[in-house]
Chains A and B, each alone.
Chain A
């Protein structure tokens, strides 16, 4: 499994990746849209976001997102309705 840009996030990442890979093959590809891995993703993502800030990558991302936003551009909509797997 690949490692994270934040070395201390790799363990959280791999737990999430294992969950996601299982979900992808056993549920997603079979048309099941229920999500399984939200909590694991939240923990992993929080860790990555703080690494991105430390390395200044968050600013590069913001610039890129201005040109090509991640599909749900409304921050509130994203946090409220986000279904992550």
Chain B
């Protein structure tokens, strides 16, 4: 199994970051995210917590050797469940691949929360656990290493793309005032 962890601080308040998250795609840095669909959404009137289930469609080329191990096309589907608590100012997103799940599992958890010492900032933590399935046997290291590299690349462009979305958001918010 391979693990990934990364933290970041956005110089924007949590309300803006959480709103911008819903408009993260499409962005030029992340052409691999082809579609995003909302499958379920539920608001708890007592707690004010919003829970959402989404389907994310990813189209990304993979090296020939990986294609041979996975025997797959380049279109993959990811299921994400997010929980937003507007009072605690936390947004937690958990996602897992729906396709290839017998061969490879990529589980990701992302948390955005208000910086405990500075309300104008938002802290971001991203973690992932990558595990090849038993069917892959001798190729599990190759597959996990490739997946980890790909995950890091996508995490980097994801952050860069989201930063641009945030900048645009601020411009639009200022224009309204």
What are the residues of chain A within 8 A of B86 when measuring CB–CB? 28-29, 31
Residues of B close to A71: CB separation below 8 A: 42, 51
Which residues of B does A touch, CB under 8 Å? 15, 18-19, 22-23, 25-26, 33-43, 45, 48, 50-51, 53, 55, 57, 77, 79, 81, 86-87, 94, 96, 98-99, 101
Task: Give the B-binding residues of A (Cβ under 8 A).
Answer: 1-6, 9, 13, 16-17, 20-21, 24-25, 28-29, 31, 33, 35, 41, 44-45, 48, 52, 57, 60-61, 63-64, 68, 70-72, 78, 82-85
Q: Which residues of B contact A60 (CB under 8 A)?
A: 77, 98-99, 101
16 A-B pairs whose Cβ atoms sit less than 8 Å apart in the complex:
A2-B33, A5-B57, A9-B37, A21-B22, A29-B18, A31-B87, A35-B43, A45-B39, A48-B37, A52-B55, A57-B98, A64-B101, A68-B94, A68-B96, A70-B40, A85-B43
Which of B19, B40, B53, B81 is the one whose CB lies under 8 Å from A21? B19
- When C-beta atoms are compared, the residue in chain A nearest to B43 turns out to be A83
Nearest A residue to B19, CB-CB: A25
Q: A41 with B41: in contact, given A57-B98, A61-B79 (CB under 8 Å)?
A: yes
Bound CA span A83–B41, Å: 8
- Asked if B41 and A84 sit within 8 Å, CB to CB, the answer is yes
A59 smallest CB distance to B (angstroms): 9
Are A85 and B23 in contact (CB-based, < 8 A)? Answer: no
A52 to chain B, nearest CB (A): 8
If A35-B43, A83-B45 touch, whether A24 touches B77 (CB-CB below 8 Å) is no
Q: How far is the CB of A32 from chain B (nearest CB, A)?
A: 9
Cα A29 to Cα B34 in complex, Å, equals: 28
Whether B50 lies near A64 (C-beta < 8 A) is: no
Please give, as numbers and ranges, the residues of chain A lying within 8 Å of B57 by CB-CB distance.
5
A2-B25, A61-B98 as given contacts; A31 in contact with B48, CB under 8 Å: yes
CB <8 Å contact, B98 and A4: no
A21-B19, A33-B45, A85-B43 given; 15 more Cβ-contact pairs under 8 Å:
A2-B25, A2-B26, A2-B33, A3-B35, A6-B37, A13-B38, A21-B23, A25-B15, A29-B19, A35-B43, A41-B38, A48-B55, A57-B55, A64-B79, A70-B51
